[in-house]
């Protein structure tokens, strides 16, 4: 009889990964995957970048690289992070295979079985999966439109056993869609000053995807304003600002933490793809990012507006939703005793899919919500897909 480890026995595929399969079905309008639309990828820019690379850079791309990352990309990424007000000289930086690996590595080096991680409720589903793979216990704290509730955070950090990690996604939250307010971020940092043995993992995959310039100041990372003595790891991703197929992210943090993550990465994949790191470095150095961001911000703003239009037009009374100011997602709350799992089955039969709320609950119970992603669906099908889900609610 095959005998798996305890951590393997607790592993299960996330609801999002299973529903991603529906995105390939042309008969289903899928709001499930948090991925860009293929028409938005910078294909022409990358074609031109690769054609202009010197032979040595192309050869480097086919070779193994250092575990921390391709040195030219580390330098260009540091310049990008400096522009976001982050203190790169007093921190170490490592390139990861997507930001999810950064999350997993942080959990790997901090968490023993049974240790506690405080998360938002709802929480990024793949972070939940990574934390549970490390056999962590999750303590979810409720949020409002400004971010994690401070009273709940204080209670969670004072509980026994003492948490080791606080995991937050303050910028166009996945799945809740909210942007943390400046006061709420300041309050979180004040609470952490009293809990210096808790490390903050600040996950920022969507901060560059604000719809209006007035919201840009609120996307400045918490790590940029924090007390240098407070241990904060800042993770980010090229997936939403370049392409998820590049599988590139990063972790910026205190040297003693990043060095442990580097050792953990050596045992996981030795190094991230040098080929895509070469492309990402040239994309940054060639100053392609600003124009590309302007293009995709406008596209996602249009898609979000179409989804809001569809919700207003078709949803029955009692259904409420967040109004996004950036990112990929709208969080929908269902009325009364309506169950998102039952609704999903009816909705798929109608030809539309979403992700149920329970997938994002650290305790895996709450199911009166759903996440709609507007990022991947063609614009001319968004309202149609919303109507199919709304019709399922009355069947």
- CATH number for the segment(s) 63-285: 3.40.640.10
Cβ count near 68 (within 10 Å): 20
Per-residue pLDDT, 12: 64
pLDDT band at 160 (very low <50, low <70, confident <90, very high): very high
Share of the chain above pLDDT 90, in %: 91
Q: What is the pLDDT of residue 395?
A: 85
Q: Is 72 helix (H, G, I), strand (E, B) or coil?
A: helix
CA distance 57 to 39: 28
pLDDT for res 24: 65
Query: In terms of Cα–Cα distance, which of 233, 107, 81 is closest to 163?
Result: 107
What are 191-224's pLDDT values in tens digits?
999 999 999 999 999 999 999 999 999 999 999 9
The rounded percent of the chain whose pLDDT value lies above 70 is 96
Band (231; pLDDT cuts 50, 70, 90): very high
Do 255 and 91 form a contact (C-beta atoms < 8 A)? yes
Q: Domain locations in the chain? A: 6-42+290-393, 63-285
Q: Per CATH, the architecture of 6-42+290-393 is what?
A: Alpha-Beta Complex (3.90)
State the DSSP H helix or E strand holding residue 110, giving kind and residue range, or none if neither.
helix 99-110
Encoding tokens for residue 192? 């952490």
Judge contact between 136 and 117, C-beta under 8 A.
Answer: yes
DSSP 140-187: EEEEETTEE-HHHHHHHHHSSSPPSEEEE--BS-TTT--B--HHHHHH
């Amino acid at each position: 009889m095959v005998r798996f480890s305890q951590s393997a026995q607790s592993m299960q595929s996330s609801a999002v990964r299973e529903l991603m399969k529906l995105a390939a079905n042309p008969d289903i309008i899928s709001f499930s995957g948090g991925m860009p639309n293929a028409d938005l990828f910078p294909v022409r820019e990358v074609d031109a970048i690769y054609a202009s690379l010197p032979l040595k850079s192309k050869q480097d791309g086919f070779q193994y690289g250092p575990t921390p990352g391709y040195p030219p990309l580390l330098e260009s990424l540091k310049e990008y992070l400096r522009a976001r007000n982050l203190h790169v000289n007093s921190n170490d930086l490592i390139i990861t295979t997507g930001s999810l690996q950064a999350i997993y590595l942080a959990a790997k080096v901090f968490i023993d079985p049974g240790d506690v991680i405080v998360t938002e409720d709802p929480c990024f589903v793949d972070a939940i999966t990574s934390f549970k793979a490390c056999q962590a216990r999750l303590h979810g704290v409720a949020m409002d439109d400004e971010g994690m509730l401070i009273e709940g955070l204080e209670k969670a950090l004072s509980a026994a056993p003492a948490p080791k990690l606080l995991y937050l996604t303050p910028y166009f939250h996945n799945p809740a869609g909210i942007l943390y307010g400046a006061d709420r971020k300041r309050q979180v940092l004040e609470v952490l000053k009293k809990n210096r043995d808790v490390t903050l993992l600040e996950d920022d995959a969507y901060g560059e995807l604000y719809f209006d310039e007035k919201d840009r100041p609120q996307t400045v990372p918490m790590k940029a304003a924090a007390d240098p003595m407070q241990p904060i790891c800042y993770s980010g991703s090229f997936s939403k600002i370049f392409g998820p197929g590049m599988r590139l992210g990063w972790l910026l943090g205190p040297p003693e933490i990043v060095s442990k993550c580097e050792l953990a990465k050596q045992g996981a994949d030795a190094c991230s793809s040098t080929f895509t790191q070469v492309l990402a470095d040239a994309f940054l150095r060639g100053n392609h990012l600003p124009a590309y961001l302007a293009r995709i911000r406008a596209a996602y703003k249009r898609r979000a507006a179409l989804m809001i239009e569809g919700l207003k037009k078709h949803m029955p009374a009692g259904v409420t939703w967040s109004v996004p100011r950036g990112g990929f997602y709208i969080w929908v709350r269902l009325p009364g005793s309506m169950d998102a799992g039952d609704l999903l089955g009816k909705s798929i039969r109608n030809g539309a899919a979403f992700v149920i709320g329970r997938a994002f609950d650290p305790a895996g119970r709450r199911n009166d919500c759903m996440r709609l992603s507007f990022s991947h669906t063609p614009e001319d099908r968004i309202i149609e897909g919303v109507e199919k889900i709304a019709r399922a609610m009355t069947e």
